[in-house]
Amino acid sequence: MTHALIVIDMQNDFCPGGALAVPGGDAIVARINAMMDEFDAVILTQDWHPAGHSSFASSHAGRTPFETVDMPYGPQVLWPDHCVQGTTGAAFHSDLRQDGDLILRKGFRHDIDSYSAFFENDQATPTGLEGYLRSRGIDALTLVGLATDFCVHFSAVDAAGLGFDTTVRMGACRAIDLDGSLAAATEAMRRAGVTLI
């Protein structure tokens, strides 16, 4: 098997002090750095929104962060402004190794969010990552990073659905945990055939 490590959204805005801080988000950086040498390929994803993105509560009059609204493609949680293209908040944590093979940016279309590294939140628009992995002969994936219950979760479920042998290293992830979202995500990943270790 050719095995890639997919490092999800290890960016300043998801770490303590950031706009959408995940508790303990920075505590997994050293573990992830150490894992990188164990894999045939290392891919970093980067949440990368234009200012005024439709997933930001500030783009919807009268709405506040962490509410859910109906978008044309389905329900969407509204977030504080985060990971705006080119800002310090969108940059990778400064201690994260950045000698990986590919940086995959997602969430760059104004009208649609993208939790998954494979498909945007309409579950249909591809990011191109599947083609990259297949053309490199990669058939097994281990996912780590932020946040367990959003971008790691949706990336892992899509990866398994596409036929990749998919593992999530839970100790190298941290969750937002909104209204039980961590438990629901864990169950959804199990159901999709993702190995959780």
Query: What does the binding site for Zn ion look like in residue numbers (CB under 5 A)?
Result: 47
Q: Among residues 91, 89, 87, 63, which one has the least CA distance to residue 77? A: 63
Least separation in angstroms between CB 29 and Zn ion: 19
Which residue of the set 15, 83, 151, 173 is catalytic?
Answer: 151
Residue 92 touches which of Zn ion, ligand VGL, none (Cβ within 5-8 Å per kind): none
Confirm whether 151 is a catalytic residue: yes
At 136, list the tokens: 């490199």
Distances (CA, A) of 20 to 13, 37, 124: 5, 29, 26
Binding mask 48-87 for ligand VGL (x = CB under 6 A): -------------------------------x--------
Total site size for ligand VGL, rule CB under 6 A: 8
Q: Does 120 bind ligand VGL (CB under 6 A)?
A: no
Confirm whether 9 is a catalytic residue: yes
- Residue number, 9 or 158, with CB nearest to ligand VGL: 9
Q: Does 143 bind ligand VGL (CB under 6 A)?
A: no
Q: Which of 15, 44, 47, 181 is close enough to bind ligand VGL by CB under 6 A?
A: 47
Full DSSP string of the chain: --EEEEEE--BGGGSTTSTTPPTTGGGGHHHHHHHGGGSSEEEEEEE-BPTT-TTBGGGSTT--TT-EEEETTEEEE-B-S--BTTSGGGSBPTTS----SEEEEE--STT----SSSB-TTS-SB-SHHHHHHHTT--EEEEEEE-IIIIIHHHHHHHHHTT-EEEEEEEEEE----TTHHHHHHHHHHHTT-EE-
- Residue number, 74 or 197, with CB nearest to Zn ion: 74
Stretch that binds ligand VGL, among 28-36, 58-66, 143-151, 180-188 (CB under 6 A): 143-151
Least separation in angstroms between CB 95 and Zn ion: 21
Q: Does 9 bind ligand VGL (CB under 6 A)?
A: yes
Cβ atoms < 10 Å from Cβ of 57 = 18
Q: Does 117 bind ligand VGL (CB under 6 A)?
A: no
Positions in the binding site for ligand VGL (CB under 6 A): 9, 14, 47, 79, 146-147, 150-151
